[in-house]
Structure 1
């Protein structure tokens, strides 16, 4: 007796049903193929970094075991919560030392510490950013990726990711910034690849937080014909024109004598103070003007007083203040319309630090915080300034600003109801007939 084939194989489907199934399949393929490719650029701490130590690496004298991986190949440097959690006292000092940047005065640029080599993990894929820390599970676009996959996007086909090294930032024209320039070049190739893989459709760039400043700088470095050919739309989430009092509070806290929280690699030995990105995140005069952001009995500090503030929080006696003035501030002041169709989506209705009061002048003490509106991290006036800079530029082809009530900085990419709105804005950008007035 011959074996019975499974029912679905042994029966023929009626021709009308076959035709119906074929039509549904064709419509699904047509819907997916109609999507413009999306490139995601995440927030500050989301790009993972691998490192390897060469013979030139010398560990801090107090932590000789940090050289244990010397000559043993690549390992995960950032973010490595799982390893840190197992032995924070041993590993936090090592990761902090290996993450720090040094400034090469001869080259006029930031570099890794001697003997440390690094690479960004999985550039091009949305699997290249995220966190192994359960407390940060929804900070790095993971839920946005899943939501986009739910409407037809597929990683590596029409969905791509551009993680970056959190330590670096753009520099003013004439100032060297090799690492950021390499990111710009890699992002341009990725956008071109995404477009080419999808029949020449221009890409939609979607950013969160600091990623938005990186994309805006990227676009303004690319020739206008390139932008018009390869970029369909720019969707900026939770970003204004730059910086804010939250960064000032972080820098001021390093003046105090309290130890950093256990497992906090970036705060250990003030590691993140060595990053170019820290200076790039200082408040923009375009957003805050001359309004006081830090108040003491003796002196107030506005966004125009950042050199004096840096000196007051411990950067005096170094050339960091000069680096801010020469490298970071010109980029901040040069924030301008990207001249591609753009949508800004930002949370509002959440108390957000607007002014820090250290009345006795002790910047290492806990400040009295005066709150304003925003998303808990980015102030409302910062996002409103974006509307002024971009929305009122006569050469900007299209600009839309969306404010989502009672939504935090991270909620914009993690709250389910907000994600639906974000995805709808991306799909609207994909369907839009408006592009460039040429």
Structure 2
């Protein structure tokens, strides 16, 4: 009975957006024009923040349930219980994030595609991640588990320090080696989106050796990479703010995301921005928050947990060392993107409500300076680095654009 109720609730959410369709007519028509190819290099797909499908079980149980994302459980009456399993804990002594101690979590279908295709298999269209690219590559001749692989990860527990030792990079290294072996020594293209780009950049720069990369990696395809972070990340930590899940209030979102390690990894940093880059203004305090002093937004309001998260991130963030593999950068521009936020409340409550956004150019989520930061690698490594700008696509929408799909197909296949 509970499963039936959950399905009906998920359908209700989907119908609100008129989005139960598996594929749009536009995508179907596009795929009809894709021809098969014979020379296919192996591909590994790494998603961004909140882009991996996750599951959990009670520590004493055996049944796995959806952790992220289940639209039905974000509805009133179900949200509080769902939030408890989603939230994580931060230990300032060990500087690590961990799940609720009563549960065990894992990415869905690691190595397969179910963990990076859709986030909610019921509400598909609004939870598409790599689906358009997966379908394009499949029409080209790719097969799941043979030369097309997914590498979902628990982005709630992913930050610059923790991924080096919590097994995420070890698992990715093993998957790339397996893809290489299955394909009889063909080098592997690793494709990242958003936070998946900085996840992959650090893996390539800091985790694996030069010799390993020369043997196993064909290229790094970076899509919408927030290499100098995003003001949106700060804004979600600073005050209640609406997110992509329409059933959650700004206060619900704020309470949920404040512990996620991945959102701290996406805070504005000095990879492209100067220390004086303005992130927020608080007129009632006559205070300007910059990249250099972001901790002030939390230290002065007694929010110690967030202060510790920001301090830890700034301490351990791995900067712009080049990956030293061929790099293909895909970004978009021409979308209204948050440059800074003005908080108009009083000195005692400015953080209680979302501020007013000051707008600049970008992809709707990441400012253009942050997106273009990796172009500096052209002078930092011998391997080629190329840039493709696809105008007026959103941060995630670029993954479904025809120009992007055809360009990636041409990189990985012949």
Task: Place the TM-score, normalised by the shorter chain, in its bin.
Answer: 0.7 to 0.9
Cα distance between partner residues in 2 of 1:263 and 1:317: 22
The residue number in structure 2 matching 1:14 is none
The residue number in structure 1 matching 2:389 is 403
Cα distance between partner residues in 2 of 1:266 and 1:401: 38
Cα distance between partner residues in 1 of 2:294 and 2:93: 26
Give the match's secondary structure for 1:286: coil
How far is 1:134 from its partner?
A: 3.4
The residue number in structure 2 matching 1:20 is none
How far is 1:423 from its partner?
A: 3.4
Which one of the candidate residues 268, 274, 277 is aligned to 2:259?
274
Which one of the candidate residues 398, 407, 413 is aligned to 1:424?
407
How far is 1:255 from its partner?
A: 8.6
Give the match's secondary structure for 1:354: strand
Which one of the candidate residues 210, 213, 222 is aligned to 2:195?
210
Cα distance between partner residues in 1 of 2:219 and 2:281: 40
Which one of the candidate residues 208, 215, 230 is aligned to 2:216?
230
Residue by residue over 1:357-411, the C-alpha shift from the partner in whole angstroms, topping out at 9 and shown as x without a partner, is 22455233342322111110111111222212x2221x34110011111111122
Q: Give runs of aligned pairs for residues 59-74 of structure 1, distance below 5 A.
A: 71=61, 73-74=63-64
The residue number in structure 2 matching 1:188 is 173
The residue number in structure 2 matching 1:343 is 328
More divergent stretch after superposition (104-113 vs 208-217): 104-113
The verdict on how the C-alpha distance between 1:96 and 1:231 changes in structure 2, with shifts beyond 3 A counting, is same
The residue number in structure 2 matching 1:137 is 126
More divergent stretch after superposition (133-142 vs 401-410): 133-142
Cα distance between partner residues in 1 of 2:49 and 2:212: 26
Q: Establish whether residue 307 from structure 1 lines up as the match of residue 295 from structure 2.
A: yes
The residue number in structure 2 matching 1:39 is 44
Which one of the candidate residues 105, 110, 119 is aligned to 1:123?
110
More divergent stretch after superposition (375-384 vs 362-371): 362-371
The residue number in structure 1 matching 2:235 is 249
Q: Establish whether residue 149 from structure 1 lines up as the match of residue 138 from structure 2.
A: yes
The residue number in structure 1 matching 2:69 is 79
Cα distance between partner residues in 1 of 2:339 and 2:158: 24
More divergent stretch after superposition (143-152 vs 350-359): 350-359
Structure 2 length as normaliser, TM-score?
0.81
Conserved? CA contact 1:265–1:271, under 8 Å: no
Conserved? CA contact 1:255–1:363, under 8 Å: no
Cα distance between partner residues in 1 of 2:341 and 2:257: 21
The residue number in structure 1 matching 2:11 is none
Structure 1 length as normaliser, TM-score?
0.77
Cα distance between partner residues in 2 of 1:150 and 1:266: 43
Conserved? CA contact 2:241–2:253, under 8 Å: no
How far is 1:212 from its partner?
A: 0.7
Cα distance between partner residues in 2 of 1:123 and 1:285: 33
Cα distance between partner residues in 1 of 2:251 and 2:388: 33
How far is 1:238 from its partner?
A: 0.7
Conserved? CA contact 1:337–1:396, under 8 Å: no
Cα distance between partner residues in 1 of 2:100 and 2:164: 14
The residue number in structure 2 matching 1:292 is 278
Q: Establish whether residue 101 from structure 1 lines up as the match of residue 91 from structure 2.
A: no
The verdict on how the C-alpha distance between 1:423 and 1:188 changes in structure 2, with shifts beyond 3 A counting, is farther
Cα distance between partner residues in 2 of 1:429 and 1:145: 13
Cα distance between partner residues in 1 of 2:141 and 2:213: 25
How far is 1:109 from its partner?
A: 2.2
Conserved? CA contact 1:195–1:203, under 8 Å: yes
Cα distance between partner residues in 2 of 1:168 and 1:131: 18
Cα distance between partner residues in 1 of 2:379 and 2:323: 12
Q: Establish whether residue 89 from structure 1 lines up as the match of residue 72 from structure 2.
A: no
The verdict on how the C-alpha distance between 1:428 and 1:162 changes in structure 2, with shifts beyond 3 A counting, is same
The residue number in structure 2 matching 1:21 is none
Cα distance between partner residues in 2 of 1:381 and 1:322: 27
How far is 1:53 from its partner?
A: 1.9
Instruction: Find the structure with the greater CA-based Rg.
Output: 1
Unaligned runs of 5+ in 1: 1-27, 56-70, 432-438
